[in-house]
Structure 1
Amino acid sequence: MKKKITEKLRQIERDFGVKVLYACESGSRAWGVPSRNSDFDVRFIYVHQPEWYLSIDMKRDVIVLPIDEWLDINGWELRKTLQLFRKSNPPLMEWLHSSMVYEYDETFVKEIKEMAHTAFSPISCIQHYLHMAKGNYRDYLKQEKVRVKKYFYVLRPLLACQYIEQYRQFPPIEFPFLVEQLLPQGELKEKIEQLLIRKHAGEKLDVEARISLLNAFIEERIHHYENSVKKINSEPVDITNKIDSFFQKTVKKHAIDI
């Protein structure tokens, strides 16, 4: 599959006249909760030739390929990427923290990761993950019968909030690591670990009775972060000039590589 992904990235470069700077896994496989039939969610960052950036018209700044049975692949153009990076965009930050990297430009990755520490905003990231947890909980887990796999889509963002609150750093994206790192031994942790074992074994984790222990934990955590996020003291740091210089240097560097 990695060979197929690499071939797709080369085809994208030829078809769109771009250079792929970074490509990684972003879905359940990157989160450490894949099932046997999980597809591959590939996300990438790319740069155009300088002439593309000199047009008076705005142009499409994403590349999205049709989804097939196993592969979901799309990417963001460099300027769009850096605009979102300046806002500490959590999905982008997750890309940069993925342990499943398919391709990367060493200089690009080194420099953007160095800037990520300054760009990181605890408030905006907690707000993002809290919004995700609340939406998924409301939509999937409040009925008597629920789709059990949706617990991962609520617990992961809540544990991400906890990691940020505790360490003031962007959280690791692997859900099993967050469970091991943040939850004390006890019934709650055991229940979550049981779900992980079932997921890794290939069970569908479809409609079952809701798990009261997890629902109680989720509701308590949502209430906690709705209140605690207001108390976080996080002054934004303006790194626009640094990002501009990085953007210009990257475009120039890859002008003759495409």
Structure 2
Amino acid sequence: MKDKILKELKQIEENYNVKILYACESGSRAWEFPSKNSDYDVRFIYVHTIDWYLSIDHKRDVIELPINDLLDINGWELTKALRLFRKSNPPLLEWLNSGIVYYQNFSAVDKMKEISNIVYKPTAALHHYLNMAKGNYREYLQGDEVKIKKYFYVLRPILACKWIEKYNTIAPLEFPNLLEKIVPEGELKNEIRILLKRKISGDELDLERRIDLINEFIESEIEHLSEFVKSLNVQQEDPTEELDELFRAVLTEVWKNPIYLAEKR
């Protein structure tokens, strides 16, 4: 599958006259709870030619391929990614920390990781994950019978919040890692492990009776985390200057290197 993904990425470079800097997995495969029929959620960051940026008109800053049964591929242009990075955008941070990297070229992502400590805003991540947990819990897990697989889409953001509360660092993507580090040994952890094993083995995990123990944990943590996030007031420096320098350096690296100049000649 990686060869197919790389072929698609190469075709994107040719079709759009861009250079891809980084591509990774961002979905359930990166979270380590894929089903047997899970598709591949490929996300990438790309840069246009220098001339593209020297324009008075705003242009589309995303590339999205039609989704098929196997592949979901889309990407963000570099300045869009850096603006979101400045806001500590959690989905982008997950891309940068994905354990499944399909492609990386040039220094952009390494440079972003080097300054992530001055960009990362725990409050932004907490609000994102908490709102995700609340929304999914409200929509999928309220009745006597629930869509059982949706427990993962509530538990994962809750455990990510608790990781941030405990360690004050970017939460890992991998659900098993969050589970082992955050949830103490006991009945709750065993119930979650059983669900995880069923999902990975290919069980449908459709409508089933709700699991009261997990629901009680979710409700308790949503209440606790809602109060915790209100208590935070973190002031951070504006990283715009560093990100501007990063962008200019990458643009020069990609398009003014000897290989590119030889191609133009």
Instruction: Name the TM-score, length of structure 1 as normaliser.
Output: 0.98
Q: What's the % identity of the aligned pairs?
A: 55
What are the residue-to-residue correspondences of 1:75-224 with 2, within 5 Å? 75-105=75-105, 107-224=107-224
What are the residue-to-residue correspondences of 1:239-254 with 2, within 5 Å? 239-254=239-254
Q: Within 2, Cα distance between the matches of 1:239 and 1:182?
A: 31
Contact 2:106 2:253 in 1 (8 A): no
Over residues 134-160 of structure 1, what are the superposed CA-to-partner deviations in whole Å (9 max), with x where a residue is unaligned?
000000000111110000000000000
Q: Within 2, Cα distance between the matches of 1:64 and 1:96?
A: 19
What is the SS of the residue equivalent to 2:115?
Answer: helix
Question: Amino acid of the residue matched to residue 36 of structure 1?
Answer: K
> Does 2:75 match 1:43?
no
**Aligned-residue RMSD, C-alpha:** 1.0
Over residues 40-69 of structure 1, what are the superposed CA-to-partner deviations in whole Å (9 max), with x where a residue is unaligned?
000000000011111101000000000111
Instruction: Name the TM-score, length of structure 2 as normaliser.
Output: 0.96
- Superposition misfits of 4+ residues, deviation over 4 angstroms: none
Question: Amino acid of the residue matched to residue 98 of structure 1?
Answer: S
What is the SS of the residue equivalent to 1:149?
Answer: helix
Q: CA deviation at 1:115?
A: 1.2
Q: Within 2, Cα distance between the matches of 1:13 and 1:106?
A: 15
Q: CA deviation at 1:106?
A: 5.0
Q: CA deviation at 1:236?
A: 2.2
Q: Within 2, Cα distance between the matches of 1:49 and 1:255?
A: 7
Over residues 123-143 of structure 1, what are the superposed CA-to-partner deviations in whole Å (9 max), with x where a residue is unaligned?
110000000000000000001
Q: CA deviation at 1:225?
A: 0.8
What are the residue-to-residue correspondences of 1:11-50 with 2, within 5 Å? 11-50=11-50
Q: Within 2, Cα distance between the matches of 1:167 and 1:232?
A: 14
Q: Within 1, Cα distance between the matches of 2:251 and 2:116?
A: 19
Q: Within 2, Cα distance between the matches of 1:203 and 1:88?
A: 35
Q: Within 2, Cα distance between the matches of 1:98 and 1:173?
A: 7
Contact 2:90 2:125 in 1 (8 A): yes
Q: Within 1, Cα distance between the matches of 2:237 and 2:154?
A: 30
